[in-house]
Structure 1
Amino acid sequence: MATEQTRYDEFVERVQRLSYLQGASGILSWDQQVMMPGGGTPARSRQLSTLSTMGHELLTSDEMADDLDALEADDGLVAPQEAVVREVRRKHDRAARVPGDLVERTSRATSEALNVWEQAKAEDDFDTFAPKLEELVQLKRDYAEYIDPDADPYAVLFADYEPYLDLETAERVLTRLREELVPLIDRIRESDVELAVDAFSGQFDAEKQEAASRDALDILGYDWDRGRLDTSSHPFTSGNQFDARVTTRFDESDPLGALTATIHEFGHAQYMLGLPDEHYGTPLGDDRDLTVHESQSRLWENHVGRTEAWWELFLPTFKDHFPAVEASPRDAYEAANQVYEDNLIRVEADELTYHMHIVLRFEIERDLIAGDLDVTEVPQVWNDRMEEYLGVRPETDAEGCLQDIHWSHANFGYFPTYSLGSVLAAQLDHAVRQDLDLDTQVRAGQFDPLREWLYENVHQHGARYTTPDLVREATGEDYTADYFLDYVTEKYERLYDC
């Protein structure tokens, strides 16, 4: 009879096979968004749906269920092993309730929807995407119904991306951000202070922007042996601790957009690359879901890449590529932190109004899933709420409800984690600055101390801890929005003298 240790080892091998299969699917998805010719969609959708079905079968197999039952009854497991069992049990129980054919249909539908979304966005034609969006909404309703027919379906979907902070917490944070940021934004817009918003005006060649982005990644310490930079219609990061790839996009009238997106994706990649190599393929070598993941990208983007210290370091390098730029580091800092009047695009949004974008998307997709909003109504509701929350109305659906890729992936429930992660980034930044003179180190281009702090306090733990426990391990406190609101209030009141 097999010993429990042997059973655990066999269980881990089963979990690793599942992880490797999902990793292969991730590479195919990356290729579809970055390199695959558009005509490849019919084959790719079948490839991805097959891998998705195989993964579902592995996760829900009788062998996996038997292993989980036996290991949960074993008193001899140590804490890290118990964490692996906990994480796999959670995923197994959810997946076991979902029929395999629904998994396959959803995978195929999302693969097909990506190409349709890209075409609809390019042609500013929501009607082209609407049938696919309607199909995906129904598939995710069905998915939520199978998992827990008595629960709020949106809460079920949200738990796929953040299983340990509940939807009530997310709603509470988003409500607080809306209530406290809107008055701050109003004071800023009434301010007479004029920031150096024209510091980067003009046209900036995309190839030179890419070279500048690569230099920024060099300075930050991106490991090119385990990563690469490409362009895509929507910036994203994909991979693991051995291969974490980032993408960005370039607008020749907005060099800061590509740069901040690149630094943002670097934060995601740095988290992946910091996960323990020896635990690859298990939850101990996997990220702790999207609130923590987004905290890493927002920490690097905002608490490093939008600081005056960063611009004192990086501006000379930027000017090597664009000698005509006459901005000072202070000018660059002000330009990077301006609060926009005409803020249409989420990924190009400033640090404050960004969260109104999240509130808008959260409300719309929650109503879609609940059946309180018809897909055909999305453009009108989007534009109305954009005008209400941000004071600007999109002229096209391409710059409105078609701007994000997430719905083509059926990622309903994903958006709140952007704001939850920004909140956590500020809490981590506060903790970091208790131990490090971060601005001095950034100014000197010394990023090893920050990377080491994040490794010790966040990355090395993988998914060993739940999100609340990891936050307490890293910061000594419970998850809170206090530090984020204190940080942005102090920063922007000083910038705008309001």
Structure 2
Amino acid sequence: MEEKLLLFREKIKEKKIIEGALEVLQWDLETNTPKKGMDYIAEIIGNLSMKEYEITTSKEFQECVEFLKENSEKLNEIERKEIEELSETIEKMKKIPPKEYQEYSELVAKTQGVWEEAKSENNYGKYKENLEKIFDYTIKFANYHKKDEKNLYDVLLNDYEKGMTTEKLDEFFTLLKSEIVPLLEKIQEKERKNKKLLEKVDVNKQREFNRFISKYIGFDFERGVMAESEHPFTMNINKNDVRFTTKYIEDNPISAIFSTIHESGHGIYEQQIGDELQGTILASGGSMGIHESQSRFYENIIGRDIHFWKGLYKRMREEYSFLERISLEEFYEEINSVESSLIRVDADELTYSLHIMVRYEIEKGIISGEINVENLPQIWNEKMKEYLGVAPETDSDGVMQDVHWAAGLIGYFPSYALGSAYSAQIYNTMKKELNVDEILETGELYKIREWLGEKIHRFGKLKSTVEIIKDVTGEELNPRYYIEYLKEKYGKIYNI
């Protein structure tokens, strides 16, 4: 037993070193790599991915994991969970032929650069071929992995939110739509206010304030890095090296603030994972739904609360002088204004889930063969018109606005809507234990960070999302909390 555990730990260490190297390369690819160097970095990523694949699927490692699984009663809680997770990973990876695994790893690494270039040129044709290949591989791999799932899309959902199915999501989105659309229609009848926050602010000044606000809410820059990319993202090498990016728009400074708060929420989660999990495969956030609950919680429930800005608005005015002519109440109303818009990351809380429904239906359609990648821009525009009443004039503001498909993250988008629902449910419990309004006004956000760390963050992947939500709130996912949160908040803002 001791021999097997020693071998197991050695292989996990080797595997995590490769994963760390891949993360650093991916970070460089998306933030620093020159255009002409991208193909070579993608090739390196493909080769390193194969090293990880070989460790995971080697006969020696598989036999080791199987032995430990059969003797799991002699393992501690962390080891048992690791073996459970690895058994699933091995089962999936060994079904993928090595050549296909390497080709796919290189493809997604290259495509993110292709996507960025195609987006900047509004040239879907440049991106389409790679995107088609990514979906083809995704469908092929899903077929390899399919077991008892009703359809292939369920296989993909399970990678990001274990146990989630299209049946459950259809029910979830139907409920959200039935409650959100009538509220949206009432708000749209109200007089629209002028946009006062679209002012030019020097990007260097924005950088300073965004770093300040990330630190203010609890991101530790002694253990983290902040940079810029076309699409904001967060990654962790380990809890002492957590990195995120944001995107600055000179004439829309508020956009960067909320993307920074969102990514900081992801980063705070990673920085608070328990020390006892370091060096294990459990030392990262749980499902994408619970991860997005933390970023959406910080971005919306905290970041769009008037009490949060009561403690910050004076400082922000010092940096962004145009705010001198805008009262705190006007600022609050504008950052919570409801309007059907083209860009998901800038969408208000109320219409946000409608953006996710567009992507969810498209993904399901492509995986089932009902939608062709060739016709994606047209279908995208039709669905945007159907759900949000607006259609983009360019593919850059339409089908190419998100990086997820270019990165192979197919089945990920529903996690954002689930995360929003989880965040409202968590907030409902937090309010019973903490005076949140007072904490936000006094700037003592460490109390919220510590509460989340104790209840959620420290567990990493040790607990499932279902276990965490039930332990924290006393029940499984209940979207009613999210619906009531939206109704109460926007009912007050729009006097409905």
The reply to whether TM is greater than 0.5 is yes
Contact 2:111 2:406 in 1 (8 A): yes
1:363 aligns to what? 361
Deviations 1:70-98 (Å, cap 9, x if unpaired)? 12222222333221211111211111211
Determine helix, strand or coil for the equivalent of 1:409: coil
CA distance in 1 between counterparts of 2:478 and 2:279 reads: 31
1:410 aligns to what? 408
Deviations 1:404-460 (Å, cap 9, x if unpaired)? 101111111111111111111111111111111011101101011111111111111
2:16 aligns to what? 19
Pick which of 220-229 and 304-313 moved more: 220-229
Contact 1:191 1:497 in 2 (8 A): no
Deviations 1:304-347 (Å, cap 9, x if unpaired)? 10000111112112111122322222222111110114x00011
1:286 shift after superposition: 2.1
Q: How many residues align?
A: 492
1:206 aligns to what? 203
Deviations 1:99-156 (Å, cap 9, x if unpaired)? 1111101111112211211111111111111111111111111111111277422111
1:6 shift after superposition: 4.2
1:278 shift after superposition: 3.6
Higher relative contact order, chain-length normalized (CA < 8 Å, sep 6+): 1
Letter in 1 for 2:65: L
Deviations 1:167-225 (Å, cap 9, x if unpaired)? 43333222222222111111111124x55x53423222222111111121121122111
CA distance in 1 between counterparts of 2:460 and 2:347 reads: 30
Contact 2:57 2:93 in 1 (8 A): yes
CA distance in 1 between counterparts of 2:490 and 2:40 reads: 50
1:34 aligns to what? 31
1:161 shift after superposition: 1.4
2:476 aligns to what? 478
Deviations 1:260-279 (Å, cap 9, x if unpaired)? 00000000000010112342
1:431 aligns to what? 429
Query: Is 2:164 aligned against 1:177?
Result: no
Determine helix, strand or coil for the equivalent of 1:225: coil
Query: Is 2:444 aligned against 1:440?
Result: no
1:133 aligns to what? 131
Query: Is 2:57 aligned against 1:60?
Result: yes
Which 4+ runs in 1 deviate beyond 6 A?
none
CA distance in 2 between counterparts of 1:115 and 1:490 reads: 42
CA distance in 2 between counterparts of 1:290 and 1:389 reads: 24
Pick which of 199-208 and 442-451 moved more: 199-208
Contact 2:199 2:322 in 1 (8 A): no
1:51 shift after superposition: 1.3
2:99 equivalent among 98, 101, 105: 101
2:379 aligns to what? 381
CA distance in 2 between counterparts of 1:280 and 1:452 reads: 19
Pair 30,153 (structure 1): closer, same or farther in 2 beyond 3 Å? same
Alignment of 1:282-293 (within 5 A): 282-293=280-291
RMSD (Å), alpha carbons: 1.5
1:235 equivalent among 232, 237, 243: 232
Pair 489,401 (structure 1): closer, same or farther in 2 beyond 3 Å? same
Pick which of 401-410 and 85-94 moved more: 85-94
CA distance in 1 between counterparts of 2:26 and 2:173 reads: 31
Letter in 2 for 1:490: E
2:161 aligns to what? 162
CA distance in 1 between counterparts of 2:74 and 2:108 reads: 42
| Runs of 5+ unmatched residues, structure 2 | none
Determine helix, strand or coil for the equivalent of 1:284: coil
Contact 2:290 2:419 in 1 (8 A): yes
CA distance in 1 between counterparts of 2:247 and 2:398 reads: 18
| Runs of 5+ unmatched residues, structure 1 | none
1:148 equivalent among 146, 151, 172: 146
1:477 shift after superposition: 1.5
Letter in 1 for 2:256: A
CA distance in 1 between counterparts of 2:468 and 2:13 reads: 23
Query: Is 2:217 aligned against 1:216?
Result: no
Pick which of 320-329 and 422-431 moved more: 320-329
Pair 14,494 (structure 1): closer, same or farther in 2 beyond 3 Å? same
CA distance in 2 between counterparts of 1:497 and 1:42 reads: 54
Q: TM-score, normalised by structure 2?
A: 0.96
Contact 2:156 2:410 in 1 (8 A): yes
- Identical-residue share of aligned pairs (%): 33
1:69 aligns to what? 66
Determine helix, strand or coil for the equivalent of 1:324: helix
Deviations 1:376-428 (Å, cap 9, x if unpaired)? 11000100110111111100000000101011111111111111111111111
Contact 1:110 1:408 in 2 (8 A): yes
1:464 shift after superposition: 1.1
CA distance in 1 between counterparts of 2:373 and 2:198 reads: 38
CA distance in 2 between counterparts of 1:102 and 1:371 reads: 21
Letter in 2 for 1:371: G
CA distance in 1 between counterparts of 2:320 and 2:449 reads: 29
Determine helix, strand or coil for the equivalent of 1:246: strand
1:5 shift after superposition: 4.1
1:340 aligns to what? 339
Letter in 2 for 1:215: F
Contact 2:287 2:464 in 1 (8 A): no
Contact 2:240 2:271 in 1 (8 A): yes
Query: Is 2:48 aligned against 1:51?
Result: yes
Determine helix, strand or coil for the equivalent of 2:331: helix
CA distance in 2 between counterparts of 1:93 and 1:167 reads: 23
Q: TM-score, normalised by structure 1?
A: 0.96
Contact 1:268 1:297 in 2 (8 A): yes
